[in-house]
Structure 1
């Protein structure tokens, strides 16, 4: 019997992974992301101490064998808090990108497919949001909603929706003119079916690349909101909140704010490097 042909999705996935494995930037970025995900998933096993348990006799100890990253002003182990912080920060980034990417893609696909007045109104609304700096608008929204991690996630997702909407809308404008879309209309397919089955799938590659590139931005904005007290609240071990607490001790206890900051830096760099490589790999001109 002849071998069964693989599904096109798996052929495409195998091809993409093969190209990524030969790209040094993709390997470096992917390694960093994989390491952070590993630390986040296995934080309960890797953390030597409870991240929120107080130990006042051990306050502000320098890094050493007992406490790899030192301790904070309440005696909590910073290494343990940084590991648990990876869980929170990566979860924030994934939630923000899932909400912003999903809503933005749907808005952009609908706007680009229908065009005309609908497209004009929707895109002007997106332009209004984009006219404000992302961090400033997220700060204003989080302040209006009140300080909490959920509100910070909502504010961060809101300011990122226009990025996905404009990108997908540009793709949808070209996809709607392709012959298979016209054939679906002639066959009597509804607008919802065409958007769901033809427009959105053909915008997926670009959306994935944008999601990878903006995930680092989402982590940075959420950490910034926590830094000024509008995001995660004590005693939550979130990287931005840890830096905010550690800045008061920066001159003498440098380790307090340094290690959470280094984890933010490495994580954002990892996603940016991988996103750039993924954009190159998914470019049809490069594949040819």
Structure 2
């Protein structure tokens, strides 16, 4: 029985990724982080928000693998639950920014002309600001909370998807099958939905993988300065902010959350680079 074209393409892609060392390393790192996030309620040895002042600032050992913080909370458990929060933040940011940016870019590239000029000039204005500084300003204006940090981070990511999809849309709109759809009486919405967006999917997926690490890093930075997750939420950036006061003597407090951020961002970046190479049609030839 012949495979559906989608599954045949998926099998081919997975086969090429499995032969790419960068993809394997990045995939393993991502898989470990996802496993920790999903299994945190079962694998964490302690409640991440339970206070135990008699155990405050204990060094890493057999009971508390990553030590404890100034309130006696187990850092290993908090880091595991922090993986759930950080990965959820990254996925939500990419979902909001990717869908919004793809719709904006497809509309801009398909219609062109004045519509394209207005939309792209606004995207250029947003891109002219450093992402972290703009996200900081937006989060400060909206108020310190995890939801506002997600919205601020998503906003600064939208232009990246919009510009990418816009470039793809300008090529696709000139294809014969798009002209045939117009002649057949298809509306603009139908053409964008059925022809423009599907042909931009591969590039958008690669960009989403590459920028997910950036989204996690920006959100952690906002939490670090108090504009993201609020205590006692076990979020990596907030944990580093609390642990910096004890860095000289209790090094483990800020080090372990920082290492998890480092490995997560590296994992998504190297996997995204490998995925970009695999989805490049020139590699398939």
Q: Tell me which interval the TM-score lies in, with the shorter structure as reference length.
A: over 0.9
> What secondary structure sits across from 1:42 in the alignment?
helix
What is aligned with 1:146? 143
Of 239, 243, 255, 1:242 maps to 239
For 1:108, the equivalent position in structure 2 comes to 105
Task: Tell me the equivalent position of 2:44.
Answer: 47
Superposed structure 1 runs of 4+ greater than 2 Å apart: none
CA distance in 1, matches of 2:11, 2:183: 35
Q: Does 1:283 align with 2:267?
A: no
Structure-2 separation of matches of 1:207 and 1:11: 20
Residue matched to 1:78:
75
Structure 1 unaligned spans of 5+: none
The residue that corresponds to 1:265 in the other structure is 262
Which whole-Å deviations, capped at 9, do the CAs of 1:87-110 have from their partners, x for residues lacking one? 000000000000000000000001
Distance 1:6 1:266 in 2: 37
Alignment size in residue pairs: 285
Structure-2 residue corresponding to 1:24: 21
Q: List alignment gaps of at least 5 residues for structure 2.
A: none
TM-score if structure 2 supplies the norm length? 1.00
Residue 166 (1) aligns with residue 141 (2): no
| 1:8 Cα deviation from its structure 2 partner | 1.2
- RMSD (Å), alpha carbons: 0.4
Secondary structure of residue in 1 paired with 2:233: coil
> Residue 154 of structure 2: which of 142, 157, 168 is its match?
157
Alpha-carbon deviation of 1:154? 0.2
Q: How does 1:59-208 map to 2 (within 5 A)?
A: 59-208=56-205
The two structures have a TM-score, normalised by structure 1, of: 0.99
